Amino acid sequence: MAGEAVAVTREGEGEAIQLAGGETLRADAVILSIGNLPPIVPAVIPADLPEGVFVADPWAGDIAAGLSAGDRVLLIGTGLTAIDAALTLEASGFEGRIIAISRRGMVPRPHDRSLLEVPNLPERPSGGMAEMTRMVRSNAERIGWQAAVDQLRPHTQALWASAPAGRRKRFLRHLRPYWDVHRHRIAPEIGERIEAMQRQGRLSFEAGKLVSVEPSGAAARVTWRRRGADGTEELTVTRIVNCTGPRGDVTRSGEPLLEQLAAAGRVRPDPCRIGIDVDENCRVIAGDGTPSPSLYAIGPMTRGALWEVVAVPDIRVQTDKLARQIPGTA
């Protein structure tokens, strides 16, 4: 059936699911498979921008609506969401200029068509971030950077699970942008389209930080600072699209179901605050640190425990493992 779940409460040995329409369903187990949450609105965005200037969620509507050839669009972020947004604008017929800005200005790399086979690592790598980085760089000199990154894939979840919280946080703070653009690549034909837009002067990727955003008539005046520069620059844009990627902190989800579960102490953020805290069996960890016997989570919101759990192959393996644990589902 279709409906929005707004609350899940423990009832006897099972769970009661309350729907927005007032109905209540009962189940022996509940699996939270909610996918990615909408992005967080950057603090620099004011509430008084003219209607239609700021798009908080690029997937919630038509980001090209009302634009003309003389307009400029600012994308906050330069990752996969920004790539999708740029291609969406191009496909809509938008002929204006697109500027994408992130702290480092790093863009997802195109996949190499010639990469047919990735050599296996003889054993799971060991050591800290510095050792791992040196190993990947060394292997990249011999087999190419794509193969050097891809050969980590069978070990990524185990490496993440075995790392202490402090090391995970350092990875997120220092290495995540480099990992993202090399691991989560774009198709070669997409890369060619993006390069063509750059050559034509219709798309640029910049490294920098937004300093302020203010209303300017029917548009917005953006002040930003290039990475490494002392001074600031200004540009006026007709639209700003939030391409910062999905939020992960369940305490700031804005979703009624997650807010109810968090308020009831049934879910909590993982130590890195990038998803829902779960154990190795996908059981949701309550606020008091105990795993639930009947509430589970799978998919991207479990990245805090597994990290590499966004792509379909990884979610398929996770789902199969969970199904074998719940009686009557395997």
Tens-digit pLDDT string for the chain (330 aa): 788 999 999 998 899 999 999 999 999 999 999 999 989 999 999 999 999 999 999 998 899 999 999 999 999 999 999 999 999 999 999 999 999 999 999 999 999 877 767 888 878 888 777 888 888 999 899 888 999 999 988 889 989 998 999 999 999 999 999 999 999 999 999 999 999 999 999 999 999 999 999 999 999 999 999 999 999 999 999 999 999 999 888 888 889 999 999 999 999 999 999 999 999 999 999 999 999 999 999 999 999 999 999 888 899 999 999 998 886 655
292 and 255 fall within a common domain: yes
* CA-wise closest residue to 251 among 221, 233, 277, 288: 277
144 and 85 fall within a common domain: no
* CA dist., res. 181 & res. 208, Å (int): 17
214 and 104 fall within a common domain: yes
280 and 305 fall within a common domain: yes
What does the pLDDT read at residue 329? Answer: 58
| Beta bridge partner(s), residue 189 | none
Chain center to CA of 259: 20
Domain count, the chain: 3
311 and 198 fall within a common domain: no
Q: Which two tokens stand for residue 321?
A: 């493992």
Q: H helices within the chain, ranges in order?
A: 80-91, 129-143, 145-150, 153-162, 165-170, 176-183, 188-199, 256-263, 303-306, 312-323
Q: Vertex 285, ends 281 and 289: CA angle to 5°?
A: 125
Structural domain contains residue 113 = no
Whole-number Cα distances in Å, 3 to 7, 59, 254: 12, 20, 18
Chain center to CA of 233: 28
End-of-domain residue from the set 196, 221, 242: 242
Whole-number Cα distances in Å, 329 to 121, 200, 309, 319, 326: 35, 54, 21, 11, 6
Residue 264 belongs to what domain range? 5-37+248-323
204 and 91 fall within a common domain: yes
What does the pLDDT read at residue 250? Answer: 87
What does the pLDDT read at residue 113? Answer: 78
Structural domain contains residue 119 = no
pTM: 0.90
Structural domain contains residue 20 = yes
Structural domain contains residue 121 = no
263 and 227 fall within a common domain: no
Q: How do beta strands 14-19 and 24-27 pair? A: antiparallel
Query: What order do you get walking across the sheet with 97-102 strand by strand?
Result: 54-55, 239-242, 72-76, 97-102, 203-216, 219-226, 233-237
Structural domain contains residue 329 = no
Q: What is the CATH number of the domain that holds 67?
A: 3.50.50.60
210 and 236 fall within a common domain: yes
142 and 232 fall within a common domain: no
252 and 314 fall within a common domain: yes
279 and 137 fall within a common domain: no
What does the pLDDT read at residue 61? Answer: 87
| Beta bridge partner(s), residue 102 | 207
